[in-house]
Structure 1
Amino acid sequence: MLLLTDCRTGTLLRRYKRFLADVLLADGQSLTVHCPNSGSMRGCSTPGSPVLISRSDNLQRKYPWTLEMIQEDGIWIGVHTGRTNHLVREALENGVIDDFGALRSITPEVKVSANSRLDFRLATAAGTVYLEVKNCSLAENGVALFPDAVTERGAKHLRELVQLAADGYGATVLFCVQRSDAARCAPAAAIDPVYADTVAWAAGRGVRFLAYRAEVCPQAVTIREKIPFYPAGYSTDCL
């Protein structure tokens, strides 16, 4: 459970320059806050939406407040991508994510090539598993979708995982869905068809895909349950 402290609620005025947002507080004060999300934030950046911001104790920061979550259609959505690995590690340690059996160790930020790292290396009874984590904030018609913008980096990670699988290691991508209104998860082919094709290709070459949904509210964020992931894309035929 990720407990958020020193937080305030407000109203989103606008999100701009990728990493900035203006927020109106209840007392009429307007703040420019850091937006820790490099995606498009499609479906979770509507001006006028309620937001939650947190204050950093780092006195060197130009913008001491950070956008944590936004409420759309009554649903709180976690948009702070820097929180995602913490959530997943906690769920691994607590056995909420139990797809790998008993874990002997969890190593973060593992270098796998000259210019790239993956999020975790897991030591399991069955051997080593490399795990890449993706934060998913977009959902349409009950389906969580990743990515919300074209991601060349995401496709590169998939190619690296395919190579690791070919070398005999476990290779997994886990989508952390930070909203409660998604019952399943799939690649966003309409947004990034290359990434979607690469997911299907990787799934056929030994890469495992998982999706877990988190409960998001202003008090805390907690990964709760596994939901189906469809590497080839989702349609009503999957029901």
Structure 2
Amino acid sequence: MKFDRSLIPGILIQRYKRFLADVTTAGGVTVTASCPNTGSMLGLTTPGSKVWLSDSDSPTRKYRHTWEMIETDLGGGPHLVGINTGRPNALVTEAIGDGTIVELAGYSTLRRELKYGLNSRIDVLLAGGRDPRDCYVEVKNVHLMRESGLAEFPDSKTERGAKHLRELIAMVEGGHRAVMVFLVQRSDAERFKLADDIDPAYAAAFQAAAAAGVEMLCYKCELSPTEIAVEKRIEIADL
């Protein structure tokens, strides 16, 4: 996924009220950017960090800038981390279409954000493949890393995430295929695990879903100020 415009570099002053961040751009101008991330962003809000913003000239936006990436270093050199949780669905859709996510290839139709289950929306619904079952795909953004190379999810308690796993179980029980895709928006990830110390209830829901037949996939991305692309599958330590 290429950005319409190259991202704007800056230095993070602070993230506050969850959805806002003050950033000083390379030109020395301080701007308030929207922060499209409801999680704790553990380890990704350190003042003074280098960040990148996208820019929109839409007249309906209150804040024209959006925080997209931050640079971090856990000892192996600097790496970019994508913090915009609005990106993964489009990234996974693109990766399904170009065959990068081989486990989800071969379907003739792809639809997004369809209502299903108990007042939920599925991120991607695939149908019309060699497998006669519809395939329900839920996508989660991953950016937490506390140990070099080891990506984790979630970064805060998420009852909503556990609910989505229960919905996927119901789809399997109804005779459909259900797949949970963890998309790691950081290039330094080598493997993935659940942050069961942060949310043991989500970890338990994950194990129940896997036992019920929900397929678990984790893919990592490569990032630059001009593009984010799904690169390859990585190991899930909890399976």
TM-score, length-normalised on structure 1? 0.94
Matched, 1:216 2:216: no
1:125 to 121, 130, 134: 130
Q: How many residues align?
A: 232
Note the aligned Cα RMSD (angstroms): 1.2
Give the C-alpha shift of residue 100 in structure 1.
Answer: 2.7
Deviates more, 1:117-126 or 1:2-11: 2-11
Counterpart of 2:140 in structure 1 is 134
SS at match of 2:21: strand
Counterpart of 1:173 in structure 2 is 180
Give the C-alpha shift of residue 2 in structure 1.
Answer: 2.9
Give the C-alpha shift of residue 3 in structure 1.
Answer: 2.7
Contact 1:199/1:231 (8 A) holds in 2: no
Give the C-alpha shift of residue 6 in structure 1.
Answer: 5.1
Give the C-alpha shift of residue 4 in structure 1.
Answer: 4.6
Query: What is the one-letter code of the residue matched to 1:137?
Result: H
Aligned mates of 2:170, 2:54 — CA distance in 1: 39
Contact 2:172/2:178 (8 A) holds in 1: yes
Matched, 1:60 2:67: no
SS at match of 2:104: coil
Question: In the TM superposition, what are the counterparts of 1:17-32 in structure 2 within 5 Å?
Answer: 17-32=17-32
Aligned mates of 1:226, 1:4 — CA distance in 2: 26
Contact 2:168/2:178 (8 A) holds in 1: yes
Give the C-alpha shift of residue 62 in structure 1.
Answer: 1.1
SS at match of 1:99: helix
**Stretches of 4+ aligned residues off by more than 4 angstroms:** none
Counterpart of 1:105 in structure 2 is 109
Aligned mates of 2:186, 2:4 — CA distance in 1: 16
Query: What is the one-letter code of the residue matched to 1:112?
Result: Y
Give the C-alpha shift of residue 114 in structure 1.
Answer: 4.4
Give the C-alpha shift of residue 7 in structure 1.
Answer: 2.8
Contact 2:6/2:226 (8 A) holds in 1: no
Aligned mates of 1:62, 1:154 — CA distance in 2: 29
Contact 2:97/2:105 (8 A) holds in 1: no
1:40-60 deviations in whole A, cap 9, x for unaligned? 111222111101101113211
Query: What is the one-letter code of the residue matched to 1:201?
Result: A
Query: What is the one-letter code of the residue matched to 1:60?
Result: T
SS at match of 1:204: helix
Counterpart of 1:43 in structure 2 is 43
Counterpart of 1:191 in structure 2 is 198
Query: What is the one-letter code of the residue matched to 2:145?
Result: A
1:182-225 deviations in whole A, cap 9, x for unaligned? 11112110111100111011100011110000001112111010
TM-score, length-normalised on structure 2? 0.94
1:66-111 deviations in whole A, cap 9, x for unaligned? 0010001111000111111111100000000010331211110021
Aligned mates of 2:216, 2:18 — CA distance in 1: 28
1:2-38 deviations in whole A, cap 9, x for unaligned? 3351531100011111100000112321111000011
**Structure 1 gaps, min length 5:** 233-239
1:144 to 109, 127, 151: 151
Query: What is the one-letter code of the residue matched to 1:106?
Result: L
SS at match of 2:102: coil
SS at match of 2:10: strand
